[in-house]
Amino acid sequence: MCRCENCGHPTNRPLTVTHSFCCARCLVNYYTSQGRTSDRNLNSLREFRSELIHQIEEKRGSKLVTMVHREQVGAQRKHKPYITIEDSEDILYRIRSVNDDTPIDFILHCPGGVIMPAELIALAVKEHPAGVSVVVPHYAMSGATLIALAAKEIVMDSYSVLGPLDPQINGYPSPSLIKLTEMKKADLVSDEMLLLADVAAKSLRQMRVFIISLIRDRLGSEKATAVAEFLTGGYLTHDRPITAKDAQALGLPVKIGVPDEIHELMRLYKFASQHHGSWYSVPCGS
């Protein structure tokens, strides 16, 4: 019988490449004490992740999909740490693979990214017949907030955050570009900035319309319009966190209290971040 490398307790689990652990917590604690992990030990991380995902599904009676973006300085950059078109292709496949009568828990940990793929994922979340609960253990900013808005329910901790949805044009906030043309006469503004302001105005209108389409059936047209205006209107800087209580005050369907097992799962993504990128789970049993 093997003994756990971390706590020393006997375990019937098979010996991994170099170590044996009795549970996910011991595995994480071991790697925390080591400060690193190696390629050959990633299999044990993936194994525990898959087991914990299955346990969460059994407990919650749902299928679980994750989109976890992690970045570590100095890591080999094989993937981008934000929403890309490749992300949307992968997530759309996973959502489509879930039966129509089965609810989805979508764990979302993301700083944002390209708007078009974020909109595609949001549409898939919105249209899943049995409903989707988006779970935000830490943060879902910018385009990830757009995905959260599409959910039937947003599960957050009191310290979890969402973010504003003002489109960024060449690194400039759309509301600020529009305000620039209002503050200065056109002949005092460069042609480039005028063009950017025109694109910003279009992007802002499009974003507001899309947000309203996601939440109107739950909040009503008037409230949905007010929420869209607040999130896109430039009242906050783009990196300003919107807490769970802030989101509830806006009228969003936020439930406070991320289950402990989901926080445990998030710890199992930490060390894989040495390989930098986006991490997904295929819904078990799909």
Q: How many domains does the chain have?
A: 3
Say whether both 146 and 255 belong to one domain.
yes
* pLDDT tens column, 36-88: 555 545 666 777 788 889 999 999 999 999 999 865 433 444 556 789 999 89
The confidence score (pLDDT) of residue 2 equals 67
- Spatial neighbors of 281 by CB under 8 A, at least 6 apart, are 49, 50, 53, 64, 65, 66, 94
> Which backbone phi and psi does 285 adopt, to 5 degrees?
80, 5
The alpha-helical segments, DSSP class H, found in 97-190 are 115-127, 143-149, 174-183
Distance CA 247, CA 254 (A): 7
* pLDDT tens column, 80-92: 678 999 989 999 9
Say whether both 153 and 170 belong to one domain.
no
Cα–Cα distances in angstroms (integers) from residue 105 to residues 72, 153, 191, 231, 265, in the given order? 26, 10, 47, 24, 13
For residue 137, what is the domain's CATH number? Answer: 3.90.226
The confidence score (pLDDT) of residue 12 equals 61
| Secondary structure element (H or E) that encloses residue 93, with its range | helix 85-96
For the chain, which ranges sit under pLDDT 70? 1-44, 70-80, 270-286
Domain, as residue range, for 100: 42-160+250-286
